[in-house]
Amino acid sequence: MKSALGPVRFIGLLLALTLAATVLMPASPAAAAIPGRQRVTDTSPYNSSGNPKVATASCPSGKKVIGMGGYVTDGNGEVVLNELLPDSTSSKVRATAWADESGYGGNWSVTAIAMCADPLPGLQRVSAQSSVDSTDKEVVVTCPSGKKALGIGARLAGAEGQVFLDHLEPFAGTSGYLHASEDATGTSSDWSITLVAMCADPVPGLISPASWSSGDSTSPKSVEAICPAGKVAITAGGLVASGVGGHGRNLVMIDRLDLPAALDRGGAGAVEAGGGASFSWHVVSVPQCAAP
């Protein structure tokens, strides 16, 4: 039996039904750029004993580190933050801090922050290490071609308590930069710095906003840089600035690189060490933000 519908009427009906189905079917939600995001923290005991103090923030099972942060609480310029580093399996972040060479009798703690997520395509831990000697140091790490740097971490090894972090910054989503200095009294011990980048296939919206504190000789200082609307902070970064290439001039150190729980900003804090500084300086927050 032939259909009562002619070819033209049949095609028209099929198009109408298809259009109706398109209108009635709910739209599929857009896939998350960074699925399974989760901020995890760990804090060492808050007391006057133990040197160094260590905190380890571990990602939940099945998730990997994509970014990090950490800070010292109540170090008062006498405790040095010398490690914010993802482990070799990219499953946890360790923060380590040391009292300076003269020791510190106050209560203090160190906190590690891990930004975790479901494993991203192309996720790769890339590292670079400086020379091992007793001079101030810098190192750059660059992601492999086609990948972007999501998070960066650092470690200062050797001469603990006498060398400090003064610049840890993500650059344009492709690399990171680390600078560390000896304190004002210097050291004859050999030491090195290591910079780690968590690289992955590109994710949308990578941007590194910057915000500067006031510029004077007061201490401590802190500042927050807010991510653009619709983006979240995935790693902390910051630096001390005291003139072109000045960093902290061996007298100012970073002791806070924070990712607050709202993940809408990154914070940086710095403090004068030893006898303090008479020059003007800024602390700058430079987090890495991305589309969620």
Query: 192: domain CATH number?
Result: 2.60.120.690
pLDDT for 226 beyond 70: yes
Radius of gyration of the chain (CA): 24
pLDDT mean over 246-260: 91
pLDDT of residue 173: 78
**Is pLDDT of 245 > 80?**
no
Give the residues across from 200 on adjacent strands: 148
Tokens for 92, please give them: 């946890």
Tokens at 236, concatenated: 């902390």
For the cut 50, the answer to whether the pLDDT of residue 4 exceeds it is: no
Q: What is the mean pLDDT of the chain?
A: 89
59 Cβ partners below 8 Å, 6+ apart?
38, 40, 65, 91, 92, 114, 116
Helix (H, G, I), strand (E, B) or coil at 21: helix
Paired residues of 36 in beta bridges: none
* Residue 8 domain-assigned (yes or no): no
- Whether 238 is covered by a domain: the verdict is yes
Cis peptide bond upstream of 209, omega within 30:
no
Assess whether pLDDT exceeds 80 at residue 167. Answer: yes
Question: pLDDT tens digits for 66-124?
Answer: 999 999 999 999 999 999 999 999 999 999 999 998 899 999 999 999 999 999 999 99
Distance CA 42, CA 255 (A): 16
* Residue 150 CB neighbours (<10 A): 27
28 is a domain residue: no
Contact (Cβ atoms closer than 8 angstroms) between residue 203 and residue 34: yes
- Is 32 a member of any domain? no
Is 30 inside any structural domain? no
Place of tokens 């310029």: 77
Taking the C-alpha atoms of residue 88 and residue 66, their distance in angstroms, rounded to an integer, is 13
Reading the block at residue 122, the tokens are: 């192309």
pLDDT surpasses 80 at 3: no
Domain presence at residue 220: yes
| DSSP run (H or E) holding 13 | helix 7-24
Mean pLDDT (whole number) for 132-145: 96
Backbone φ, ψ for residue 9 (5° rounding): -65, -35
Domain containing 280 equals: 38-290
- Note the pLDDT tens digit of each residue in 171-199: 867 899 999 999 998 999 999 999 999 99
For the chain, the domain total comes to 1
For the record, the structure tokens of 107 come out as 């209560």
Q: pLDDT band for 6, please (50, 70, 90 cuts).
A: very low
- Give me the pLDDT at residue 247, please: 78
Mean pLDDT, residues 207-221 taken together: 96
Measured CA to CA, the distance from residue 144 to residue 111 in angstroms comes to 30
Does the pTM exceed 0.85? yes
Q: Assess if residue 11 is contained within a domain.
A: no
